């Protein structure tokens, strides 16, 4: 297949582009590079000895998307990552999140519909289950009311996709609801490199370990969990990338007019403190930390039931927690300034 990957220069996008190339697919990437680096794709090309076609395009620019699609009439499918993704930030600047994530996706879908590119894998989020959902999250649960504008934007997009499929059964959609991707490619050549102060735990831990930051702030130690810190379902980014390739290949075999959600996770919740301690154990690097107030939008604990993905997509998270720590450190220690963007 020839696959359009939006946000393909980002953390998950670049790892997925690599796995698509390994699986024999062609890749066309569009990315506005607002929180990513073109260097990631150059390194994917080095790792695979294959080429990626790249366009610096914002998904809110329908004309530019249509121009790209016109140049590649043989694109068969889309994997849509392009989005702003910081839960905490989204509560402070919600309009920017709705503008980028929701309006951007609408613009993308309009261009894809015109071009008749109707296989669509959406990078969704476990946050769509809302604050009240019982754990572990399973796809048969009703979606809830997410606590952040980020989560609400993902839920809105899922609802838009469901309505689109009902109105245009030529579309086939897989919404991948995932949890907390961490780690990096085992080569150490690509990994997570956020702009500014990281919003996610692992890049912050890694930047403290490499001396880029003084100490880690752990937001809240009074949650109703075993050690008082938040518990999450952490999975290796390479496992997650495999999940997108599996979903794409699954869609190819389905009848038209389908919109299915799949959880991608390990089913094993780990606390922030457990992650920090495991990183220190695997790398022999001490991580100084302090406790800070809870962040708005953070839930105490959630994790996945990923049985549906195992049965239907033939996907499981295979990499260990040690792999996640080791690969994170290999990436960060080899690239103390990230991609140097």
Catalytic positions: 150
CA–CA dist 242, 19 (Å, integer): 7
Tokens 């998307």 belong to 65
Among 122, 97, 111, CA closest to 35:
97
* CA dihedral over 204, 210, 213, 216, signed as positive or negative: positive
Q: Residue 256 has which token pair?
A: 């038209």
CA–CA dist 203, 311 (Å, integer): 32
136 and 303 in contact (C-beta within 8 Å)?
yes
Among 112, 119, 160, CA closest to 248:
119
What is the chain's alpha carbon radius of gyration, rounded to the nearest angstrom?
A: 19
| CA 321 from centroid of its chain's CA atoms | 18
CA–CA dist 107, 113 (Å, integer): 10
Cα angle: 57, vertex 58, 60; to 5 degrees: 135
For residue 339, what are the β-bridge partners? none
CA–CA dist 341, 327 (Å, integer): 21
Q: Residue 291 has which token pair?
A: 């406790």
């Amino acid at each position: 297949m020839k696959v359009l990957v939006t946000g393909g220069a980002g953390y998950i996008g670049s790892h997925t582009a690599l796995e698509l190339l390994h699986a024999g697919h062609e890749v066309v990437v569009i990315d506005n590079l607002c929180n990513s680096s073109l260097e990631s794709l150059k390194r994917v090309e080095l790792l695979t000895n294959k080429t990626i076609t790249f366009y610096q395009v914002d998904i809110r620019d329908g004309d530019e998307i249509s121009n790209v699609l016109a140049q590649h009439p043989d694109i068969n499918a889309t994997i849509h990552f392009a989005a702003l993704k910081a839960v905490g930030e989204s509560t402070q600047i919600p309009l920017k999140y709705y503008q980028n994530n929701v309006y951007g996706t609408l613009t993308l879908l309009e261009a894809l519909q015109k071009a008749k590119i109707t296989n669509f894998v959406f990078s969704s989020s476990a946050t769509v289950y809302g604050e009240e959902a019982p754990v572990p999250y399973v796809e048969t649960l009703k979606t809830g009311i997410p606590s952040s504008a980020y989560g609400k934007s993902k839920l809105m997009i899922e609802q838009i996709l469901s309505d689109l499929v009902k109105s245009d059964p030529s579309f086939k959609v897989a919404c991948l609801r995932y949890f907390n991707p961490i780690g990096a490619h085992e080569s150490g050549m690509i990994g997570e490199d956020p702009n500014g102060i990281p919003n996610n735990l692992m890049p912050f831990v890694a930047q403290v370990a490499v001396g880029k930051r003084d100490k880690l702030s752990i937001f809240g130690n009074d949650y109703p969990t075993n050690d008082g810190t938040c518990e999450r379902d952490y999975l290796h980014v390479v496992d997650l990338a495999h999940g997108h390739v599996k979903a794409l290949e699954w869609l190819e075999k389905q009848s038209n007019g389908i919109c299915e959600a799949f959880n991608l996770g390990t089913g094993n919740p780990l606390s922030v403190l457990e992650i920090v301690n495991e990183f220190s154990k695997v790398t022999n690097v001490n991580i100084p930390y302090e406790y800070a107030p809870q962040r708005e939008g953070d839930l105490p604990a959630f994790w996945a039931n990923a049985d549906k993905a195992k049965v239907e997509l033939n996907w499981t998270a295979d990499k260990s927690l040690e792999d996640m720590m080791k690969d994170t450190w290999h990436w960060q220690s080899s690239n103390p300034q990230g991609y140097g963007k």
